[in-house]
Amino acid sequence: MRSIRKLSDEARSGIRSAYIITSVQQLTRELLDNAIEADSTQIQVLISLDDWSIKLTDNGIGIQKDSLAELGRSHMSSKKGSKGETLASISQLASLKITTRHASSLSTHTLIARAGHSVYFGLSLDGNRSSRGTVVTVTDIFANIPVRRKSLNKAREIHGIKSDMQSLALVHPEIAFELRNSQQILIQLPPSHDTVSRFREIFGYALAEHVEEINYHGSDHVVDGFMSLECAHSRAYQYIFVNSHLIVAGDLHSVVSTTFAESSFGVMANEPASMESNASRRHAQRYPVFLLHIHIPSSILESTYDRHHRMFYIDNQASLSNTLKQLVIDFLVKYSFISPVAESYTSASNPRHSQATTLSKSVTANKRAVSDSAVSTQQSVRSVTSPQPSRDTKKAKNENASRTSQQRRTIDVHGINSTRTSKSDWLTNVLNKWNNPTYRLLKSTTATSVDSSESRRESFKLTKADIENARVVGQVDDKFIMAVVTTKNALVAFDQHAVDERIRVERYLEALIRRDDIVLVDPPIGTLLTYEEMRTLGTNVETVEQWGFLIDIDIKPSQEHYGQVFVKTLPGVMHDRLIREPKLVQDIIQEAVARGMNESTTLNWHVMVGLCPPTLLSLVNSKACRNSIKFGDTLSMRDCEMLLQSLSHTKNPYQCAHGR
């Protein structure tokens, strides 16, 4: 057996560098942070992933000659670098060239590093810069890690770099940013005087036409930013920064989103007066648009910012969450998305107010106990008693409803009051002695002691093979297909409507994904989009065309930051409904743009269904439901057998189109 030996310094540095710099996007983000730290007011980035190179130019304070000599070594980078190892790691994974002129110097110096070693340091061979600033050029990125190059998706990397620059531009509106690739300008932002103006420059005026600016000062944190009265079709316009760092969606985002969701905000905003197709339109989800910048003293942070995961660990997160929740509530009350009464009730459950946390937990715990108790009882009854037809008089039903209402009023946060309000004696006697001439009253059977494990032992899972090999017995009550699953020695009832619905929905989705039937629309359907949606669609029209919508983009957006596109084709599966209701076309296009393009080279059914715009998926499910076999339709033995055979060949035979 060979002995274990220590890796060489060069091998250790290479492994460490590959861990620190994992993508072109992250490399660019590190360079952007360094430029911002240098007090730059102009930052330009040129990226070319065809030859794996990046060039960043800034007008920052520059780097002094003595500091430049040490810059390519570990632990000698800027304070925002990954523990001082960013530039050293870049020089391990690529060729690094830094040309800089410090504000206090008239000379321009250059450092060239490759494979972790400096190969040139001295006066710039390209002459002196006319002003202060730095140019960082990185070439041959990941040349010594070909598997890393192969695993990176170039389109995704460019999109990530663009998103990172946009987030930095939002939190630093005073800086001018520019991002180019070899074909076009991706971002060009002049300096702005505030965050709202910068947001409108990036995403268009439509999403932030009317905003409520936030300026909150607490004892240990400050929150500023804005909330918009407009909605979006995705969560892409929800930003939370902590001390100028963008935070990935997590607990703080959930607090804000949940509070919005408990109001009428997403329902009322952007809704037309027409009430047509409400059933379909409610599936076109609306999300709030907000940007919140939280300032916290570094002394109360548990640990440093996790750059890779964009997370902070905050000591007083509960207090901060309460602040964000109250800010959202104040916004919703001000614009009548919730009533003041609802606001006071919500505030009462806020831990900032008295004892609300304990009460909320108690109620939640008891709700769970109630639910568990109900499920347990239901399982026990199902195990012991067989279903029996129950007949009762209208008077008895009313009495039962009244008794249930009385029982509900006796429930408190400490649990369920199991004491039932008994029937009055006279009514009990009447019901017991009365001989109903039409329907005989049946005695109910009560399960007194049943181990719920019995029902669990009796449960089993059906496979596609079980369904395919099932032997049809026949149709029952024109509702169910009864079949014997021989492999499980069980008699199973299949809901005939759900079975046919599942078969149809997968057939429609398959046609939609493969674009088997595309219908030409004449004249084309005109649709209004926001400035950001127009720009995104112009650079990646496949996000919509992959669903059968061929788009003709009109002239540039108007001064109101809206633009018009014309839809020339529709998917054949849904074209009749979409022609009748063109508003649905707009919803689908906006959702498709928000969700993005499927990057897979193959038509993966499950991936594509996950990317399908919610409105389009809802229309497919609705059509499958309407066209499928209904309860009351009589089926022959052959019909039943064909349905089960078709069900066994579906990709998901265990759920209907609605997920049940």
The pLDDT, as a whole number, for residue 300 is 64
Counted domains in the chain: 4
Structure tokens at 290: 């907000």
217 and 309 fall within a common domain: yes
Pairwise CA distance, residues 589 & 587, whole Å: 6
CB neighbourhood size of 4 (10 A):
5
Share of the chain above pLDDT 90, in %: 33
3-state class (DSSP) for residue 114: strand
Please give the mean pLDDT across all residues of the chain: 77
pLDDT band per the 50, 70, 90 thresholds, residue 397 = very low
Same domain, yes or no: 183 and 213: no
Angle at CA of residue 525, ends 519 and 530, nearest 5°: 125
Quick check: is 306 in a domain?
yes
pLDDT of residue 607: 76
Query: Domain containing 272 — which CATH number?
Result: 3.30.230.10
**Nearest of 351, 352, 353, 329 to residue 341 by alpha carbon:** 329
489 φψ region: left (φ > 0), alpha (ψ -120 to 50), beta (else): left
Give the pLDDT of residue 473.
92
Q: 482 — phi, psi (to 5°)?
A: -90, 130
Whether residues 164 and 223 share a domain: the answer is no
Question: Based on the domain organization, do 54 and 164 belong to the same domain?
Answer: yes
pLDDT bin (cut points 50, 70, 90) of residue 426 is low
The answer as to whether 384 is a domain residue is: no
**471-476 and 562-571: which strand pairing?**
unpaired
Q: pLDDT by residue (tens digit) across 545-599? A: 888 899 888 655 454 567 788 899 999 888 889 999 988 998 899 888 887 655 5
| pLDDT confidence of residue 235 | 87
**Residue 394 belongs to what domain range?**
389-444
Quote the pLDDT of residue 274.
41
Residue 4 carries which DSSP code?
P
Same domain, 590 and 612: yes
Give the confidence band of 318 by pLDDT, cuts at 50, 70, 90: confident
Give the number of other Cβ atoms within 10 Å of residue 76's Cβ.
Answer: 15
Q: N- to C-terminal Cα distance for the chain?
A: 58
Task: Out of 309, 325, 353, pick the residue that ends a domain.
Answer: 353
Averaged over 459-463, what is the pLDDT?
Answer: 74
Q: Read off the pLDDT of each residue in 480-491 and give the average, rounded to a whole number.
A: 88
Partners of residue 180 on adjacent β-strands: 46, 185
Q: Among candidates 86, 66, 62, which has minimal Cα distance to 75?
A: 86
**CA–CA dist 465, 160 (Å, integer):** 44
Is 276 a member of any domain? yes
Residues 309 and 340 in one domain: yes
Residue 85, domain member (yes or no): yes
> Which of 329, 353, 377 is at the close of a domain?
353
- Give the global pTM: 0.66
- Cα 283 from Cα 621, distance rounded (Å): 12
Query: Which tokens is 564 given?
Result: 């018009």
